Amino acid sequence: MKTRSLWPLVAFLTIPAIFIAGGTLFAAIDPDKLAGHAHYVRNFRILELLRGAIMLAMFGSVIVAWLLACLLLLRSKSRSYGWLPLALLGPIGLVVLALLRDPSPDPCDLYERFKRRLNVFVRVAYETGFFLLGWMLAWQMMLTRREITISAQAAVTGLSRQQILDQQNASSGMWAFGELNDVMYFFVLLYLMRPVGVNVVGSLLKHRGSS
């Protein structure tokens, strides 16, 4: 299997880890805990600046991880880095990058060999079908993640499912934005996993057949 196709996926998977680490560190620094202490005003401002720096560092790291994933995707396809500005288009830009053909694929790259067997019309139908299916799967993955989150929150806090839903409905705009981001994340994840999955399954079947 062409191992270079794994690195874009690895870089992309660091994005939620960055958000979790940054969010945890941001929440751990609570300036209000300094109430009543000496030099409260000065220390409050310092901690607020620190929290702001953490947020900037978190979002900056996410942007770097995203650009790195797109850059590694181009490298895995032996394509010019001149395509990198498409990364600014977000998930749609990465979809375009994922559609690029590798001009010099490895003989063991089963996914590229599979794509090269498709004529233009079959390729268009295949990519259109995957786009629609991937979007629907991304929505289902988001809904599954939401159900798991609600169940975990109910178990930790002791609140009922309806109480948690009421809290979410009170800030529905924020939750809707977050869930849309989840959908786009899962959508991109499916595109990055596609060549890796095809190569892994194909290699296993080939090895099993030769055995």
In tens, the pLDDT along 66-116 reads 999 999 999 988 899 999 999 999 999 999 999 888 887 777 778 888 888
Average pLDDT over residues 52-58: 92
Q: How far, in Å, CA of 42 to CA of 64, rounded?
A: 33
Which DSSP symbol is given to 100? P
pTM of structure: 0.82
Average pLDDT over residues 4-23: 90
Integer distance in angstroms from the first to the last C-alpha of the chain? 18
Report the 10 Å Cβ neighbour count for 169: 9
Place of tokens 């994922």: 98
Give the three-state DSSP class for 127.
helix
- State residue 94's pLDDT score: 92
- State residue 31's pLDDT score: 72
- State residue 64's pLDDT score: 95
Average pLDDT over residues 11-28: 90
Phi-psi map region of 159: left, alpha, beta (phi>0 left; psi -120 to 50 alpha)? beta
**Residue 38 pLDDT level (bands cut at 50, 70, 90):** low
Q: How far, in Å, CA of 30 to CA of 43, rounded?
A: 11
Residue 153 CA to chain centroid, in angstroms? Answer: 23
The domain limits of the chain are 3-210
Is the model more confident about 150 or about 36? Answer: 150
- State residue 169's pLDDT score: 73
